[in-house]
Structure 1
C-alpha cells in the first residue's frame, strides 16, 4: 500500500524532518512512502531518500514576468481569483493522483500560517474526490477552525489527528467529529543519535538554548525576544556554573535559527562557557538536547525532543501548539510556556527559568513517569491508518 505525505516544507526544518521520520516509524515501514516536498534538495541532504521510495518536488513558483506570472497577477488583482495560483503551485502533486494511496497532510500547523489554509483546502478538495486524505498531527487556532470555509474543508478529510487537546476540543466544538482523534505528535517517539559532544558541552551541566527568527517576528516590542535571551544567558553565567549550548533546529534561508543564536554566541563566547552547535539532522539534534540539564526553546520540535528525553523545558511559544502540548503534559501551561506576544520586559524569560531551575528535579521525575503514558496513543495510531486501508 502506498502512502503520500504532502505539506512538507523540507528537512532543513528539522521539525518537519522529525514528523516524516517518526510517522514513517509509527507505521512500521509497512507502507511505501512518496514524499511531496517544497525542498527536495534538503530532503536528500538529510537522507530522507533512504525512507521514501520517491521524493517529488511539488511546489512551483512563478518566474517573474513570465506569461503565467502575469496571468496570475491579472486574475488576482481584477477578480480576486486564487485558484490559478493554487493549480500552478501544486501541479506536481495534483497532476497524477494515486487512487490506491492515502494522502497525509503532515505540516502540523500549516493551517495557522497566513492564508495557507486556502491552498490546503484547494489540495484537499481535489484529492478527496479521488482518494482518502488524512490531516496528521494538527494544531489549529480556534479562530481559524471556526471560519466557514475551513470547517467545510476539514470535514472532507477521512481522518484527522490533533496533537493536543486545545485543537482537538475546538474541532469537536466546530462539529468536526466524524473521525477525529487525539494523538500526540509522533515526534515524541523519535529515536536519538548520540554523537560526540563538542568541546564546552558538558553532559548534565549544560543548558540548551534555542531561539528562532519566527518568534522574533511575532514579538510585540522591538527586539524584546533577543533582550530576554540575552538576560537569560547573563543570569546563567553569573548565577550558576552551568555551560550553555546554542542549538538550532531550523536552518531555512531567511528563517535560520543560527542567525540569532550566532549573535548570542558572539556576545558571550569570551566566557568560555558557551558553545554554538552547527547543523545536524533531527535524530542527532535530539541526541544533543537529551544530554542537556535544562532546555529553553522556541521551536516546537526542539522542545518535543527535550520533553520526550525528560529534560525540564521552558518554551517561548507563539501559537496554540506550545500551549496545548504543555497543558496535556502538565495539566496547565502556566510556568512552562511564555507566549512571545506577552513579552513586555527583558526579564520575563529569566524569571520563568528561575522557577524551572528551582523545580527541575520535580519536573524531571514527573516527565519520567508521564512520558510513557502520554506517548501510548501514538503506538496505536497505525490502527487508524490500517482501518482506512481496510475500508478503501
Structure 2
C-alpha cells in the first residue's frame, strides 16, 4: 500500500452540481482503499469567488483541499476582452494562467486525475480548457488519467476528431466508465491506453440528512429530476415549450400512478438550475400541490442520494441523479441525451429499454414507460441487485489499475 501520496483531481465543476461532488466522493473512497493516508487537491472551475469560498468552507473531508482553475467568469468581467488576444497569441501563457494554482503542486503529486464525467465530449462545446489541462500535466512529465469518464464522440467535426485521436493517444490512461466510450475509442483506433472501469459515483455513500434538514419520505413515492439543460435537445431550444412539456409529464405521472411525486434538483448552479426549473413546473402543474413535493436546493450529493434511495421509482435527466438511483437499487428511467446514459444502462441491464431519447420525451411516452417499469419493478430490482455489485467492483478496481500503470 502506497503511503501518503497526493492526488490532484482537476477539471471538475462546483459541488452545486451534485454529480461533480459525487465523482469526488467516489474517487476519494477508491483511492483511500488502495493508498495509505492519501491527500487530495481538487482544482475545479467555479463561477465566482463566493462559490469557491463556500465550497472550501463547507468541505467536511480533511483530506481534501480546494483550489480554483481560472476562466473568464462572465461577459461582464472587465478584463475578459484583454484576455482574448492573450489566449489566442500566447496559448502557453494562457494555459499557465488558467491552471496557475495547480502547477506548483504537480511536481510532488503522485498523479493527476482529470475528473468531471463528460468533459471530453462536444456536449458543452469544444473541450479546450481540458486539453489545456492535459498539456500542462504532460509537459510536467507526470501521469495523467482521464478518470471514470465518457469520451466523445467527436465525429460531428471530422478535423477535430482527427486532432483528438492524436491527443488522446498521448494520455497515460483513459479510464472509461461505460462501454459506449470504449466502443467509440476502438472505432477511431484508440485501444492501448484505454481501461474499462465504472463511474466512481457508484461508490459514493448515501447519508441521511442532518436533523436541521430532516425530511420524511412517503412510501411508494416517485422521484423525478428534469433539468433546463434538456432544452438543448428539445423543442428547438424553446424553454417555454420545454417547461410546458415537463409540467404535463409530471401531471400525467401523478394522475396515472396515483403516487406522490418528489421533484429532485441535482444541479443548482446559476447558469443551469434544476431547482428553479422544477419550481416553475410545480407552480404550473394543475394538480394538488400536496401531491408534488419540491426538494429545496440545500442537500449535498450524498444526502440527495439518500433521498433518491427511498423512491419506489426514479426518472432523471442528470446522469449522476440516475447513478444515485441505480446504485441504490431503485428502478430508474434515464432521459438520455448523450451516449453516456445509454452506455451505463447497457452495461447494467444489457439493453437500453429504460432510456428515453429527447425525441421520445412526450407525456404519453414517459408515463407509459413508467407504468411498464412499475409493473416490472420486482424484476428490475432483482436485476440491479445482480448487476450493481459488479459495477461497483469495476469502479473500485480503477484504483488497482492506477497503481499498476503509474507504479
Normalising to structure 1: TM-score of the pair? 0.89
**Residue among 105, 115, 127 paired with 1:117:** 127
Which deviates further from its counterpart, 380-389 or 278-287?
380-389
Q: 1:50 aligns with which of 62, 80, 93?
A: 62
2: CA distance, partners of 1:109 / 1:66: 27
Counterpart of 2:40 in structure 1 is: 33
Task: Show the counterpart of 2:377.
Answer: 360
Alignment of 1:90-169 (within 5 A): 90-94=99-103, 97-112=106-121, 113-130=123-140, 131-143=142-154, 147-169=161-183
The 1:45/1:326 distance shift into structure 2, 3 A limit, reads farther
CA distance in 2, matches of 1:106, 1:267: 37
After superposition, the Cα gap between the structure-2 partners of 1:114 and 1:58, relative to the gap in structure 1 and judged at 3 Å, is same
CA deviation map 1:326-345 (0-9, x unaligned): 11111111x311122x1474
Contact 1:213 1:256 in 2 (8 A): yes
Unaligned residue ranges in structure 1 (runs of 5+): none
Return the match for 1:349 from 366, 370, 376: 366
Q: 1:290 to 1:265 in 2, by over 3 A?
A: same
Q: Which residue of 2 aligns with 1:213?
A: 228
Q: Conserved in 1, the CA contact under 8 Å of 2:9 and 2:42?
A: yes
State the 1:243 CA deviation.
0.6
- CA 1:213–1:86 in 2, change beyond 3 Å: closer, same or farther? farther
CA contact (8 A) 1:125 1:153 kept: no
Deviation at 1:283, TM superposition (A): 0.7
Measure how far apart 1:114 and its partner are: 3.9
| Residues in 1 aligned to 2:398 and 2:204: alpha-carbon distance in whole angstroms | 15
Q: Does residue 277 of structure 2 align to residue 273 of structure 1?
A: no
Change (3 A) 1:374 1:12: same
Pair 1:284-2:296 in alignment: no
Query: Match of 1:23?
Result: 27
Q: CA deviation at 1:354?
A: 2.3
SS of corresponding position for 2:182? helix
Compared CA separation, residues 289 and 344, structure 1 to 2 (3 A): closer
Kindly tell me the number of residue pairs found equivalent between the two proteins. Answer: 383
Q: Is the 8 A contact 2:86 2:94 kept in 1?
A: no
In structure 2, the partner of 1:339 is 357
Look up the SS of the partner of 1:134 in the other structure.
strand
Relative to structure 2, which stretch is displaced further, 176-185 or 216-225? 216-225
**2: distance between equivalents of 1:253 and 1:303?**
22
User: How does 1:373-388 map onto structure 2 within 5 Å?
Assistant: 373-388=390-405
Residues 190-234 of structure 1, C-alpha deviations (whole Å, 9 max, x = no match): 1111237635x303x110011111112331343454344323322
Pairing partner for 2:218 from 185, 202, 206: 202
CA contact (8 A) 2:224 2:264 kept: yes
Residues 68 and 164 of structure 1: CA distance in aligned 2, closer, same or farther (over 3 Å): same
2-structure distance, mates of 1:357, 1:63: 44
Distance in 1 separating the partners of 2:133 and 2:254:
50
Specify the SS of the correspondent of 1:380: helix
8 Å CA contact retained: 2:113, 2:145: yes
- Alpha-carbon shift at residue 381 of structure 1 (Å): 1.5
**Distance in 1 (alpha carbons) for counterparts of 2:257 and 2:125:** 45
Residue of structure 2 aligned with 1:317, choices 289, 311, 336? 336
Offset at residue 184 of structure 1 (A): 0.9
SS class of match (1:157): coil
Secondary structure of the residue that 2:207 maps to in structure 1? coil
Q: Is the 8 A contact 1:35 1:55 kept in 2?
A: yes
Contact 2:181 2:343 in 1 (8 A): yes
Contact preservation (8 Å) 2:335, 2:357: yes
CA distance in 2, matches of 1:359, 1:301: 23
User: Aligned partners of 1:32 and 1:173: how far apart in 2?
Assistant: 37
Cα deviation digits, residues 301-325 of structure 1 (max 9, x gap): 1100100111111111211111110
